[in-house]
């Protein structure tokens, strides 16, 4: 996967997940193919979830902004 000016491999993704999990224990790592929300996307990939729940997309976007995540790093998704 190409992002942030580099090609990410499995080790990079796992290292980022571990770093984030060490800071906040409710962070999750999922495979997009296991969730219907991502089923329309033919590309399957690992996704790091913040482990936060919100009542609206606006609340989620506000959380992203408050935690200094840009639109390429924080994408609210409804997993239901």
The answer to whether the pTM exceeds 0.75 is: no
Residues 34 and 74: their CA atoms lie apart, in Å, by 20
Locate all alpha helices (DSSP H) within 1-47, ordered by sequence: 10-23
Query: What pLDDT band is residue 39 in, cutting at 50, 70 and 90?
Result: low
Beta bridge partners of 6: 3
For the stretch 41-52, pLDDT in tens is: 677 888 888 888
């Amino acid at each position: 996967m190409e992002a942030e000016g580099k090609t990410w491999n499995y080790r990079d993704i796992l290292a980022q997940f571990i770093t984030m999990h060490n800071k906040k224990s409710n962070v999750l790592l999922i495979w997009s193919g296991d969730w219907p929300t991502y089923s329309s996307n033919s590309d399957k990939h690992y996704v790091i979830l913040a482990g936060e729940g919100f009542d609206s997309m606006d609340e989620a976007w506000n959380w992203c902004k408050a935690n200094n995540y840009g639109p390429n790093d924080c994408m609210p998704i409804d997993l239901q």
